[in-house]
Amino acid sequence: MTPVQRTVTRTVAALIGMYFFAFALVPLYDVFCQVTGLNGKAANQPRAMSNEGVDTSRYVTVQFITRSSKGLPWELDVMTRQLRVHPGQPTEVEFAFTNKSDSASWGRTVPSVTPSEASLHMRKLTCFCFQEQRIEGGQRVAMPLVFQLTRDLPSEINTVTLVYTLYPVENKDNVSQQVQRTWREGGDA
Amino acid sequence: MAPKLPPQHPLEHSTATTAGQAHEHDDHHHYGGPGGIKRWLLTTNHKEIGSLYLIFSLSMFFIGGIFALVVRAELFQPGLQLVQPEFFNQMTTMHGLIMVFGAVMPAFVGLANWMIPLQVGAPDMALPRLNNFSFWLLPVAFGLLLSTLFMPGGAPNFGWTFYAPLSTDYGPPSTTFFIFSLHIAGISSILGAINIIATILNMRAPGMRMMDMPLFVWTWLITAFLLIAVMPVLAGVITMMLMDINFGTSFFDAGGGGDPVLFQHLFWFFGHPEVYIMILPAFGIVSAIVPTFARKPLFGYASMVYATASIAILSFLVWVHHMFVVGLPLAAELFFMYTTMLIAVPTGVKVFNWVTTLFRGSITFETPMLFSLAFIVMFTIGGFSGLMLAIVPADFQYHDTYFVVAHFHYVLVPGAIFAIIAGVYYWLPKWTGHYPDERLGRWHFWLSVIGVNLTFFPMHFSGLAGMPRRIPDYALQFADFNMVSSLGGFLFGASQLLFVAVLIKCVRGGEKAPAKAWEGAEDLEWSVPSPAPLHTFETPPDMTSQAPQRH
Ligand code: HEM
Ligand SMILES: [Cu+2]
């Protein structure tokens, strides 16, 4: 190999390496965020209630924001926009989904916690966000979120904001095994 | 190009009046390759390819400039007068993309092609045919990018930073073409970088050690490594976008489990080193010009090399300063605030070295020197506004306002672009054999300086007062600042026509330049005749005997 060929081989190897490194960053980022909770993603599995007791000496404000997104004719409302809870205290909040179109469709909600450090301390016992949902045209469905803030929530955090964004899911109607419905049916919209 | 020329008197050959004729002449006498268009399509000569890059870059500079003037015309007054908001967004986006990838980067590659072989005593680039290919990818890439303006749904409209999912879910149908054109432009830069690295590492004249290389060569070597490191990341990001758009993946779509913030991390991991790709070669040019016209060796050559290398390494550790408002933990904000401020230290070393080189020099103020001195002053202003932006709590206020626009235009226009212009004025005698017209050059300089400052200085104030960037209409209290910016913008744009006049005049004729065109110029390129013949250093110059000029 001439020296030029050697240099070129090495730079091309570095290039290919960096290209794959860029893709490797995607799973690395996910793992990093799961461990540290830094991107505000709460766990997407129900957790057991913790019985460490309620810290009545402290109040934390919890706010809820709901958003719909492109391509899904649904509306998501929350019955209580803001409440004050004690760390350790299990709390239930009611959300309402409305399908504003005439036909049934599938969707899911993606949660995000701010500040992101709080996401590791947000235990969800029940959440509509764990599953994809199907709602009939024109229907309004109420679903609960039951959560608990753990007592080791860092003391500088006084407000926790939960954002729920609606996303469309491709039609699953002919998939035989349907997601089990755990929510209570509401009346018509 | 190269129309059939009337037969010339033999005597005229040595004083051929246009670059085209000079090449034609050499061509026929040396190897009799193809003529006409084919000759430019197929050339593997580093000087011709360098000229092609520079001409391409200049055309993109004007096209991108026209887009900027559409933006400034709309912002001349509050309210919507000339264009629709959708088209306004296409103009800001295309302006940014074309200036970054089509004007600044190819201009530096063009200068590298022309000057690196001459400065290291090599007969050509290490991979001449690859060189031809890298260049011709560019017209393809930017032809494609410009064609999106005529597609249904219009051109990309999501800003030069193309944040997903704005660009994936909400972008126009032409986004796929945009991705494709960026891929091609990226491949071109990567191939250019490989070629430059191979040339610098392997083709130096015998006896020229790394620490003997001119700083333009050094800064380009480091820039080329930055390109190798981050262009593949850019390619990866846009590939992920392509898959999100066309193949149903969800890298950046929260609905499918992806993460929009991940896009910003990946983009800025490329993007911040990219801004240094656009400034390091400028440092090299200024480090060549300042000693020449101060008639003193550069102060602190070795520290310049180390400062450049430290800037390059640090540039991988600061990307989050573009994302201070995405919601980060305090520790991350502090870390990236400090690393960002740390970059100002090696940058300060450079400014210090230039100023010290000037100290007690016997300075003359020819056009290249004027542009270089303006570079030093105004780049430093841009560095200071960068430091202000690095302060996290302040950035919460400044982010996405015109203050950021002011910052990066100060480092890019009187920074990168002034350095490129300075380099062109400096090396024109070597390229054409004639000095550029000094009187026109001065007009060009002063009108540009006034235009740049009128355009961008008021943006600091409109930004601090809260005017958001990328908005076609604005509140009344910003009206005066914007009117001044628009007037300045048109002045700056118009004065660049003078630059074209200087270039044409200098190619056609003018005062003859000797081999060593500037009294204080010491680097190797000044040892070959002006204009540089098509083939130089076919027998390498022996540098072993030469006394070390640096340290
Ligand atoms: C002392 C050195 C510098 C510091 C401390 C610095 C700092 C910063 C910071 C903190 C931002 C983000 C502002 C925001 O979006 O809120 C920024 C933006 C930017 N900087 Fe710098 N910078 C420096 C030098 C440079 C140089 C040399 C260049 C290019 C030649 C450059 C180009 C840019 C660009 C293009 C942006 C805006 C990107 C965008 O959002 O469109 N900066 N800079
Ligand atoms: Cu940056």
CATH classification of the domain holding A47: 2.60.370.10
A65 shares its domain with A12: no
Tens digit of each residue's pLDDT (9 = 90 or more) over B279-290: 999 999 999 999
| Residues with Cβ within 8 Å of residue B3, at least 6 apart in sequence | none
What's chain B's average pLDDT? Answer: 92
Tens digit of each residue's pLDDT (9 = 90 or more) over B174-228: 999 999 999 999 999 999 999 999 999 999 999 999 999 999 999 999 999 999 9
Confidence of residue B543 (pLDDT cuts 50, 70, 90): confident
Residue B434 DSSP one-character state: B
Q: What's the CA gap between B482 and A110, in Å, rounded? A: 41
Residue A130 DSSP one-character state: G
A32 shares its domain with A43: no
A137 shares its domain with A60: yes
Question: What pLDDT does B22 receive?
Answer: 41
A182 lies in some domain: no
Task: State mean pLDDT over B59-76.
Answer: 98
Q: What's the CA gap between B352 and B183, in Å, rounded? A: 39
Q: What's the CA gap between B254 and B226, in Å, rounded? A: 31
Say yes or no to pLDDT of B384 above 70. yes
Question: What pLDDT does A185 receive?
Answer: 37
Query: Which ligand is closest to the CA of B390, given by its number?
Result: 1
Ligand 1, residues at Cβ distance < 6 Å: B 161, 275, 278-279, 321-322, 340, 343-344, 347, 383, 386-387, 389-390, 395, 398-399, 404, 407-408, 411-412, 415-416
Q: Is A167 helix (H, G, I), strand (E, B) or coil?
A: strand
Residue nearest to atom 42 of ligand 1 (CA): B408
A14 shares its domain with A76: no
Query: Domain of A29?
Result: 1-36
A81 lies in some domain: yes
Q: In Å, how far are A58, B98, B237, B379, B436 from B241, measured between CA atoms?
A: 45, 20, 6, 34, 46
A15 shares its domain with A47: no
A118 lies in some domain: yes
Which of these is catalytic: B25, B47, B72, B350?
B350
Tens digit of each residue's pLDDT (9 = 90 or more) over B305-359: 999 999 999 999 999 999 999 988 888 999 999 999 999 999 999 999 999 999 9
A66 lies in some domain: yes
Query: Would you call B160 a catalytic residue per the annotation?
Result: yes
CA B364 remoteness from chain centre: 26
In B110-139, the residues whose Cβ lies within 8 Å of chain A are 126-127
Say yes or no to pLDDT of B4 above 70. no
A15 shares its domain with A81: no
Q: What's the CA gap between B35 and B242, in Å, rounded? A: 41
A71 shares its domain with A120: yes
Cis status, amide bond into B531, omega within 30 of 0:
yes
What sign does the CA torsion over A41, A43, A44, A46 have?
negative
A75 shares its domain with A53: yes
**Number of domains present in the structure of chain A:** 2
A185 lies in some domain: no
A44 shares its domain with A84: yes
- Helices of type H across B359-478: 367-390, 392-398, 402-411, 418-432, 438-464
A121 shares its domain with A156: yes
A113 lies in some domain: yes
Say yes or no to pLDDT of B43 above 80. yes
Residue nearest to atom 22 of ligand 1 (CA): B386
- Any idea how long chain A is? 189
Residue A108 DSSP one-character state: E
A23 shares its domain with A83: no
Does the beta carbon of B201 lie under 8 angstroms from any beta carbon of chain A?
yes
A136 shares its domain with A51: yes
Query: Would you call B398 a catalytic residue per the annotation?
Result: no
Interface ipTM: 0.86
A58 lies in some domain: yes
Enumerate the β-bridge partners of residue A92: A146
The chain B residue lying nearest A28, using CA atoms, is B262
A181 lies in some domain: no
Task: State mean pLDDT over B41-48.
Answer: 94
